Amino acid sequence: MKRVKKLSAAVLTGAMALSLAACGGGASSGSSSAAESTAESTSAAGTSVKPTGDNVIKLGGIGPVTGAAALYGTACKNAAQIAVDEINAKGGDIQFELNFQDDEHDAEKSVNAYNNLKDWGMQILVGTTTTVPCVAVSAESNTDRIFQLTPSASSTDVIGGQPDADGNVTIPRKDNVFQMCFTDPNQGTASAQYIKDKGLGKKIAVIYNNSDAYSTGIYNKFKSEADSLGLSIVSTTTFTDDTATDFSVQINDAKNAGADLIFLPIYYQPASLILKQANTIGYDVKFFGVDGMDGILSMEGFDKSLAEGVMLLTPFVATADDDATKSFVKKYEDAYGETPIQFAADAYDCVYAIYQACQDQGIKSSMTNEEICDKLIERFTSKDFKFTGLTGEAMTWSDTGEVSKTPKGMVIKDGIYEPLDK
Q: pLDDT tens, 155-214?
A: 889 999 877 667 787 889 999 999 999 888 888 999 999 999 999 999 999 999 999 888
CA atoms within 13 A on the CB side of 282: 0
| Cross-sheet strand order for the sheet of 95-102 | 95-102, 56-63, 124-126, 147-150, 177-179
For residues 377 and 415, membership in a common domain is answered with: no
Annotate 313-350 with DSSP letters as a single string.
EES--TT--SHHHHHHHHHHHHHHSS---HHHHHHHHH
Q: What is the pLDDT of residue 38?
A: 37
The helix/strand/coil state of 146 is coil
* Within a domain: 8: no
Residues 354/129, Cβ–Cβ less than 8 Å = no
Q: What is the pLDDT of residues 79-90, one digit of tens each?
A: 999 999 999 999
Residues 315/326, Cβ–Cβ less than 8 Å = no
* Within a domain: 7: no
Task: Mention every residue, 6+ apart, whose C-beta is less than 8 A from residue 173.
Answer: 159, 160, 161, 400, 401
Q: What is the pLDDT of residue 181?
A: 92
For residues 132 and 262, membership in a common domain is answered with: no
For residues 71 and 130, membership in a common domain is answered with: yes
Q: Measured on CA atoms in the order 358, 361, 367, 371, is the torsion positive or negative?
A: negative
Of the candidates 420, 392, 263, which has an alpha carbon nearest to the alpha carbon of residue 316? 392
Integer angstrom CA distances of residue 307 from 293, 412, 416: 10, 7, 10
For residues 157 and 51, membership in a common domain is answered with: yes
Q: What is the pLDDT of residue 1?
A: 47
* Within a domain: 393: yes
For residues 111 and 203, membership in a common domain is answered with: no
Annotate 170-238 with DSSP letters as a single string.
-S---TTEEESSPPHHHHHHHHHHHHHHHT--SEEEEEEETT-HHHHHHHHHHHHHHHHHT-EEEEEEE
For residues 274 and 298, membership in a common domain is answered with: yes
Range of the domain at 253: 185-314+409-419
For residues 103 and 215, membership in a common domain is answered with: no
* Within a domain: 197: yes
For residues 90 and 21, membership in a common domain is answered with: yes
* Within a domain: 275: yes
- Give backbone dihedrals phi and psi of 353, rounded to 5 degrees, phi first: -65, -40
Of the candidates 4, 16, 3, 8, which has an alpha carbon nearest to the alpha carbon of residue 314? 16
Q: What is the pLDDT of residue 422?
A: 64
Angle at 161 between CA 264 and CA 344, to 5 degrees: 45
* Within a domain: 3: no
Taking residue 281's Cβ as centre, other Cβ atoms within 10 Å add up to 10
For residues 295 and 369, membership in a common domain is answered with: no
Burial state string for 88-118 with b = 16 or more CB within 10 A and e = fewer than 16 = bbbebbbbbbbebbbbbbbbebbbebbeebb
Of the candidates 77, 98, 73, 76, which has an alpha carbon nearest to the alpha carbon of residue 87? 98
Q: What is the pLDDT of residue 219?
A: 95
State the distance between the two ends of the chain, measured CA to CA, in whole angstroms: 24
For residues 161 and 259, membership in a common domain is answered with: no
Helices marked H in 23-106: 34-40, 70-90
In the beta sheet, which residues pair with residue 149? 126, 178
* Within a domain: 144: yes
Q: What is the pLDDT of residue 7?
A: 36
Of the candidates 111, 103, 108, which has an alpha carbon nearest to the alpha carbon of residue 129? 103
For residues 95 and 222, membership in a common domain is answered with: no
Q: What is the pLDDT of residue 195?
A: 96
Separation CA 252–CA 248 (nearest Å): 6
**Positions of the chain with pLDDT lower than 50, given as ranges:** 1-46
CATH code of the domain in which 245 resides = 3.40.50.2300
| Number of structural domains the chain divides into | 2
For residues 56 and 124, membership in a common domain is answered with: yes
Question: DSSP character for 138?
Answer: H
* Within a domain: 351: yes
Integer angstrom CA distances of residue 178 from 39, 118, 307: 27, 19, 33
